[in-house]
Structure 1
Amino acid sequence: MELDLSSNKLNGPIPSTIWNLSNLKYLVLSSNKLNGELPFCICNLTSLQLLLLSNNSLEGTVPQCFRNLSKSLSIFHLNANNFSGLIPSIFINGCSLQSINLSGNKLKGRLPKSLINCKSLKGLDVGNNRIRDKFPFWMEGLPKLRVLILKSNKFDGNMSLASRSNLPFQKLQVLDISDNEFVGSLPQTYFKNFRAMMDVKENKTDLITSSDDDSFLRYVEMRITLKGLDLLLTRLLKTFTTIDLSSNNFSGSIPDSIGNLNSLRYLNLSHNNLMGHIPASLGNISVLESLDLSSKKLEGGIPSELTRLTFLEKLNLSMNDLVGQIPQSNQFSTFENDSYVGNLRLCGVPLTRKCNEKNEQQMQPEEEEDEYGFIDGFGWRSVVMGYGSGFIVGIGIGCWIIRFGRPRWLVEFFFGVGYTYNKNKTRKRATPTQRRS
């Protein structure tokens, strides 16, 4: 039995009569205006395989009795509601869940480690909650996980610790841990082992079409940021791959190993404390469509290897300390000033600063002065020289006036009309009076 009343204008609490439908397998009430708490009698639906209550105004805690349903449930979506409290440890041995979406609530505490019992889990989204925890390294033991979204919580700690698995997250296509408090260097071990982001071949049947994935793909619902836009994705292609580590406290350099992910489509490392050079290995990610390395401490030039990224539509290198000429070939000829703003030592198109013909790594001095100069064309050096010269000339003229009382009109201007400068009198006062014999 299936009941789908999604995308209507239903309001109020969920009718209690629904909980008497013991043969109900699919319950879809998403995108309505339902409110109130979930009663424990929901767990009377022992045949339930799919539960979609997303995008409502439901509140309260997630009932512990869902433990009784974890062997039958495949899809469990309570996202975009007002649920609070802890995520209950309801995932027992034999858990059959493929997709869990609890994002956009007020859940707190830690991720329950009992999730490791859900060996069929392909998607976990707990973004936009109040969860405080370390990175769940133990999830490396979920062999089918394709989507892991932990963004906008209070996760912290170091992700570059030694991996507990030989092939961690080898099927992961979506990793979004943005807007948390992670520290330390970027997780090189993962960059070397994300097999689903390497050598992925496109074909006409790009969707993952195995029968084992049917339910998961049919009800995919991911809200992620792509190319600077917050988007809701309702499908997952085999070739869709994204890594978003932005707005954390990662430090150190960007490792060359990130170039191993040659099938990565979207990469966002912005708003961290990363430094050093942009690795030339990024040029190996030939299908990359969006690259955001903004608001860090990167230095050096833009590698010419990046011009090989012929699918690149969005580039943001702003607010760094990059130098030299901007590459001009392929996609780089399409990017505007906002891709480079805040890099005061970059030059070349599309910026107005021209590069020195003899040395492309140095800008012409007059262009640099124009950046910091005045609207009339004089830079700060010229102004300082002018003031210095004027000061010396002014002192000299002042001494002349005081010593000789000339020119007369200027003396009268400063000392008043009628002022008489008697040089002879001054000299007489300075000469000793001779005694008469």
Structure 2
Amino acid sequence: AYSVNLANNELSGPIPYSECRKHHPLQILDLSGNNLSGLVPPYLLKGCNDLVVLNLRGNRLDGAWPDEIDESCNLKLVDLHGNHIQGRLPRTLARCQYLLALDIGGNRFVDSFPVWLGQLQELQLLVLRYNNFHGPVSIPPLVEKNSSARYFASVQIIDLAGNGFSGDLPPYLFKSFRSMVLDSNGIAEYDYNVYARAGRSDYQVVIDVAMKQQYMRVAKVPADLMVVDLSCNRFSGFIPRSIGNLTYLHVVNLSHNAFRGKIPRELGQLSRIESLDLSWNRLVGEIPQELAMLTTLEWLNLSYNDLGGRIPSGSQFSTFTSSSFQGGNRGLYGCPLLVKCNLTFVTSLSSSLPPPVQEGSPFDDIMLWLFVGVGFGVGFALTIVLLVVYGCWCKKMVLRR
């Protein structure tokens, strides 16, 4: 077995044709970070049955992805991120039963949700961000009826951001992400990084993740990094309460959609959540107090909704700035917003002041006549001054004539 790693050079032109030899099978092909153009060679998917890693990330490849994948596919990692590949996602990719990472973000694929990828039991990373996928995220009817069916059961990062997905989210979509759920003892066995084993080599998986309002590259993806990013689509309806079952989630981004209704209280069950973004939706009602109990939450954005009521108080909520809540949300008040932020302080201060003077008391009468007298005196004096000034001015005018 051998590998070809020519990443991050200045290679240009099309990928040359080369036969995969039986005596020296190609297992790793890394041509990422170059200036390669043209089509993805069909022989890489049909003739090279021993290929485990195909990394063509960050080139200028275009055209359609060949739909000619062999039945004996051994691919574990396919990274085409940041090219210009178009057309449909080839259905023969479902033959790659060992596939654990698929990243086709930043291309021009036009297709519906690849529901057929759910049958790949090893798939951990699925990145479809910024393509032209569209339509609803459907779930096979048999999966919904059979609670023991395995569907996207191993996925730990699913990124559908920046597409044209629409409609309601099926509740069972979140129920099927079993790798994001802690076991009954509250312990998950994740003490390694995601890698593709090719012979004696371990090829580390690299992925870009949007979290805490940053888009960062994770060079070594830890197996306990759990991300659901459905932002910048046209999803509508209610946020399924089943998302609360994903107790091992670290990042949830549902921003820039058309979700309506209330924020599910079940989000308070995400005991390891670090980044939560629900901004730019149509959410209403109050912010659940359960969110204030999330001690791991480091970044929150609920802005540009139609939320109301008092912002919950909590140790984590006190660390967020007004930008986490302002924008829309006209009925929202409380710290850190200026609206009624110091209401408690003002109330306590007013209680310590001396009681006001009762209406109709002698003190009221004295002060009233005092102010009336002073006002009358000042007004009378001001009138005399004006008359004198006016008389002098008239006398000067007569003398000039």
Q: What does 1:127-166 align with in structure 2 at a 5 Å threshold?
A: 127-165=105-143, 166=149
Aligned to 2:211: 226
Q: Specify which of 34, 37, 58 is matched with residue 80 of structure 1.
A: 58
Q: Specify which of 41, 44, 60 is matched with residue 66 of structure 1.
A: 44
Q: Specify which of 164, 167, 171 is matched with residue 150 of structure 2.
A: 167
CA, structure 1 residues 210+254, in 2 after alignment: closer, same or farther (shift >3 Å)?
Answer: closer
CA, structure 1 residues 211+61, in 2 after alignment: closer, same or farther (shift >3 Å)?
Answer: closer
Q: Secondary structure at the match of 2:268?
A: helix
Question: What's the TM-score once normalised by structure 2's chain length?
Answer: 0.79
- Match of 2:5, as an amino acid? V
Q: Which runs of 5+ in 2 are unaligned?
A: 144-148, 345-401
Q: Given the alignment of the two structures, is residue 39 of structure 1 paired with residue 16 of structure 2, yes or no? A: yes
Alpha carbons 2:115, 2:139 under 8 Å: kept? no
Distance 1:70 1:250 in 2: 39
- Match of 1:264, as an amino acid? L
Aligned to 1:347: 333
Q: Secondary structure at the match of 2:165?
A: strand
Distance 1:263 1:214 in 2: 32
Give the C-alpha shift of residue 164 in structure 1.
4.9
Alpha carbons 2:245, 2:269 under 8 Å: kept? yes
Pick which of 69-78 and 41-50 moved more.
41-50
Q: Which runs of 5+ in 1 are unaligned?
A: 1-23, 359-437
RMSD value over aligned CA atoms? 2.3
Give the C-alpha shift of residue 140 in structure 1.
1.3
Aligned to 2:387: none
Distance 2:326 2:202 in 1: 40
Alpha carbons 1:75, 1:215 under 8 Å: kept? no
Q: Secondary structure at the match of 1:50?
A: strand
Q: Given the alignment of the two structures, is residue 249 of structure 1 paired with residue 204 of structure 2, yes or no? A: no
Alpha carbons 2:182, 2:188 under 8 Å: kept? no
- Match of 2:273, as an amino acid? L
Aligned to 1:50: 28
Q: Given the alignment of the two structures, is residue 189 of structure 1 paired with residue 172 of structure 2, yes or no? A: yes
Deviations 1:23-73 (A, max 9, x none): x61111111111111111264585110011111111110111113444201
Deviations 1:94-151 (A, max 9, x none): 1111000011000000010111110000000001000000011111111100000001
Q: Secondary structure at the match of 1:132?
A: strand
Structure 1 or 2, whichever has the larger Rg, is: 1
Aligned to 2:397: none
- Match of 2:84, as an amino acid? K
Which aligned segments of 4 or more residues in structure 1 are displaced greater than 2 angstroms?
41-46, 67-70, 160-165, 200-205, 208-219, 355-358
Q: What does 1:81-120 align with in structure 2 at a 5 Å threshold?
A: 81-120=59-98
Deviations 1:362-408 (A, max 9, x none): xxxxxxxxxxxxxxxxxxxxxxxxxxxxxxxxxxxxxxxxxxxxxxx
Aligned to 1:404: none
Give the C-alpha shift of residue 161 in structure 1.
4.0
Q: Which has the higher contact order (CA 8 A, sep 6+)?
A: 2
Deviations 1:132-187 (A, max 9, x none): 00011111111100000001000011114445542211100000000000111113
Distance 1:100 1:209 in 2: 14
Write 1 or 2 for the structure with the bigger share of strand: 2
Distance 1:271 1:212 in 2: 37
Aligned to 1:389: none
Pick which of 180-189 and 79-88 moved more.
180-189
CA, structure 1 residues 293+129, in 2 after alignment: closer, same or farther (shift >3 Å)?
Answer: same
Aligned to 1:333: 318
CA, structure 1 residues 108+257, in 2 after alignment: closer, same or farther (shift >3 Å)?
Answer: same
Deviations 1:405-433 (A, max 9, x none): xxxxxxxxxxxxxxxxxxxxxxxxxxxxx
Give the C-alpha shift of residue 277 in structure 1.
0.3
Question: What's the TM-score once normalised by structure 1's chain length?
Answer: 0.72
Alpha carbons 1:217, 1:235 under 8 Å: kept? no
Distance 1:353 1:214 in 2: 62
CA, structure 1 residues 210+249, in 2 after alignment: closer, same or farther (shift >3 Å)?
Answer: closer
Q: Given the alignment of the two structures, is residue 310 of structure 1 paired with residue 287 of structure 2, yes or no? A: no
Alpha carbons 1:202, 1:239 under 8 Å: kept? no
CA, structure 1 residues 217+158, in 2 after alignment: closer, same or farther (shift >3 Å)?
Answer: farther
Alpha carbons 1:70, 1:96 under 8 Å: kept? no
CA, structure 1 residues 215+118, in 2 after alignment: closer, same or farther (shift >3 Å)?
Answer: farther
Give the C-alpha shift of residue 190 in structure 1.
1.6
Percentage of matched positions with identical amino acids: 40
